[in-house]
Amino acid sequence: MAIDNFKEKFDALVAKEPSKWLEKAEWRAANRSWLKTSQAIAIRVNRILREKQISQKALAEMLNVSPQQVSKIVGGRANLTLETISKLEHALQATIISVPRQVTHAKYHAEISVNTVLDKIRAMEKIKKNFSEWSAAYVQPEEKKPVYKLAA
Amino acid sequence: MKIISIFEINKDTLYAVQFDDFELDEFELAFDQWSDVAYLEEFFENHKKDLQSDFYGEINVDDAIEDTIAEAEQLEDRMRMIASGKDQGMSLTEIFKPLDNQDYKQGSHQKSKATGDWHKSWLRVYAIKVGNVYVVCGSAIKLRPDMSDREHLQLQLRKLEMTKNYLIEMGVLDGEDFEYLEF
């Protein structure tokens, strides 16, 4: 059986302040890109804390930060600086993030070019040396022609 | 207990309860928890046996955390679209399903659940539906097919009952309607 004036009665129960969900949802969506990295770091930090049996409180003391700040880090909501990441790695004695090193295209070609030039120089020096040895063995030096001068 | 408005669009309206001694309403709490790595890590570590059961197959805790966050983002995006009224083709009726998996008929007064988009989704939002009004009462990560054998899932059932009783007490619901739709 339907209640008479249901919506009217229901609305009377509703608090004046709306939910903060939408505001938070908009923030999460707008900051999703860096939050993904923060969450990945948090997964790694939580794994290390569990394996090494370190409490959040102890981590806060190690980092000399508030428990609220540690809560944000392990929750994946902290926009971490490189300095904080470095402190985390030092405190946990573990690598938290690593940056892949890559031989750049230009550097690769520069190395190839240098090596190629050096190889060519070495090859030319070898040819030059071989030619000198060969010529010394088989080529007769030209005879010196006498120089005639009129007598005074 | 008090009732908090989440958003209101056209004929569909979404509300959530905020239980005494809680700082957040149940809808806000759900998405806060599902984006909190520390909360998810502790939950999956405590329910590792269920997580790695035959129901979901082999999945480690770290992957479960990532999957949950990604799934919650999809669900939250969908709810934001509805809240903004940008997607006219989508409504709460399409998101909330009857709680009992055997009952696919949506009546006017029933206990409902919303689930994430992914296949075999384990995210749940529990609500009581009254006419076109949905009142969110709780949420859970459901790793078991049955709600009755895990404490955190039983708690959600109790929250549904508490909300129903509150609405009856306040003269908004007729108890008979709930008896009719009890699952």
Determine the residue of chain B that is closest to A15 in CA distance: B4
Q: State how far the Cα of A92 lies from the Cα of A86, in Å rounded to an integer.
A: 10
ipTM: 0.85
What pLDDT is stored for residue A105 in this prediction? 65
Confidence of residue B116 (pLDDT cuts 50, 70, 90): low
Q: Kindly report which listed range (A2-11, A104-113, B78-87) carries the lowest average pLDDT score.
A: A104-113
- In a domain, residue A152? The reply is no
Distance from CA of B133 to the nearest CA of A (A): 9
What pLDDT is stored for residue B97 in this prediction? 79
Tokens for B171, please give them.
């003269």
Range with top average pLDDT, B49-58, B133-142, B168-177: B133-142
Partner-chain contact B76 A28, CB within 8 Å: yes
Per CB-CB distance under 8 Å, the chain B contacts of A77 are 35-36
What pLDDT is stored for residue A125 in this prediction? 82
* Cβ atoms of B23 and A62 closer than 8 Å: no
What pLDDT is stored for residue A91 in this prediction? 96
Where residue A37 sits, what CATH number does that domain have? 1.10.260.40
Interface of A with B (CB under 8 A): 1-3, 6-7, 9-10, 13-15, 17-22, 24-26, 28-29, 32, 35, 39, 42-43, 46-47, 50, 56, 71, 74-77
| Global pTM value | 0.78
- Position with higher pLDDT, B73 vs B104: B73
- In a domain, residue A44? The reply is yes
Partner-chain contact B73 A32, CB within 8 Å: yes
Q: State how far the Cα of B56 lies from the Cα of B93, in Å rounded to an integer.
A: 27
Confidence of residue B181 (pLDDT cuts 50, 70, 90): very low
- In a domain, residue A48? The reply is yes
Angle at B76 between CA B11 and CA B12, to 5 degrees: 5
Neighbours of A101 (CB within 10 A): 5
What pLDDT is stored for residue A45 in this prediction? 98
Q: State how far the Cα of A73 lies from the Cα of A88, in Å rounded to an integer.
A: 10
The mean of the pLDDT values for chain A is: 86
| Interacting residues of B180 by C-beta distance below 8 A, sequence separation 6+ | B107, B109
* Cβ atoms of B151 and B47 closer than 8 Å: no
Partner-chain contact A15 B3, CB within 8 Å: yes
Per CB-CB distance under 8 Å, the chain B contacts of A25 are 31, 76, 79-80
Distance from CA of B154 to the nearest CA of A (A): 25
* Cβ atoms of A35 and A77 closer than 8 Å: yes
Q: Number of structural domains, chain A?
A: 1
- In a domain, residue A38? The reply is yes
Q: Helix, strand, or coil here: B14?
A: strand
- Tell me, what DSSP letter sits at residue A93? T
Partner-chain contact A43 B65, CB within 8 Å: yes
pLDDT for B168 beyond 50: yes
| Interacting residues of A121 by C-beta distance below 8 A, sequence separation 6+ | none
- Tell me the torsion sign for CA atoms B146, B147, B148, B151: positive
| Interacting residues of B31 by C-beta distance below 8 A, sequence separation 6+ | A21, A24, A25, A28, B72, B76
Distance from CA of B162 to the nearest CA of A (A): 15
- Position with higher pLDDT, B52 vs B65: B65
The predicted model gives B77-100 an average pLDDT of 79
- In a domain, residue A40? The reply is yes
Question: Got the DSSP string for B109-177?
Answer: EEEEEEE-SSTT--EEEEEEEETTEEEEEEEEE--SS-STTSHHHHHHHHHHHHHHHHHHHTTSS-HHH
Tokens for B37, please give them.
């790595």
- Tell me, what DSSP letter sits at residue A14? B
Confidence of residue A2 (pLDDT cuts 50, 70, 90): low
Residue A31: domain span: 19-92
Order of strands across the sheet that contains B109-115? B2-9, B12-18, B133-141, B123-130, B109-115, B96-98
pLDDT for B113 beyond 80: no
The predicted model gives B55-73 an average pLDDT of 91
H/E stretch holding A102 reads none
The predicted model gives A51-61 an average pLDDT of 97
Interface of B with A (CB under 8 A): 2-7, 15-16, 18, 24-25, 27-28, 31-32, 35-39, 41, 45, 62, 65-66, 69, 73, 76-77, 79-80, 83, 108, 130-131, 133, 170-174, 176-177
Comparing CB atoms, the residue among B37, B76, B130 nearest residue A75 is: B37
pLDDT for A104 beyond 90: no
- Position with higher pLDDT, B4 vs B140: B140
Confidence of residue B47 (pLDDT cuts 50, 70, 90): very high
- In a domain, residue A140? The reply is no
Confidence of residue A39 (pLDDT cuts 50, 70, 90): very high
What pLDDT is stored for residue A26 in this prediction? 96
pLDDT for B128 beyond 50: yes
**Up-side HSE of residue A82: CA atoms within 13 Å toward CB?**
2
Residue in the block written with tokens 């190629």: A116
- In a domain, residue A77? The reply is yes
**pLDDT tens digits for range B4-45:** 777 665 566 889 999 988 999 999 999 999 999 999 999 999
- In a domain, residue A141? The reply is no
